[in-house]
Amino acid sequence: MTLEGSVITGNGKGVVLYLWGCGLGWAPEEFTGTVAGAGNRIFGNLELDLCPPYPGDPWPDGFLVEAP
């Protein structure tokens, strides 16, 4: 997955990579892909913004910037 300079807001679950761990029990918990990108704003979603939470794996440094 690559997101760069994106704004994700006002939806149900923001960006979810670990579906089981994020409360969606119908899919595997393990994420085996790669995340790339920077300068994203992900905020104001109904249940969560990022799963797993940022900072840390699998999110690269600089993936998020401050929400407005």
- Give the 3-state secondary structure of residue 28: coil
Contact 45, 11 (CB under 8 A): yes
Tell me, what's the pLDDT at 68?
A: 53
Tell me the three state secondary structure of residue 45.
coil
Query: Could you state, in chain order, the average pLDDT of each consecutive group of 10 residues for the chain (68 residues)?
Result: 92 78 65 90 89 88 82
State both tokens at 54. Answer: 């940022």
Q: What is the pLDDT of residue 60?
A: 94
Provide the whole-model pTM: 0.78
Question: For residue 33, what pLDDT is reported?
Answer: 83
Lookup: tokens for 58: 């699998």
- What residue segments make up the domains of the chain, in order of their start? 1-58
How many Å apart are CA 8 and CA 10, to the nearest integer? 7
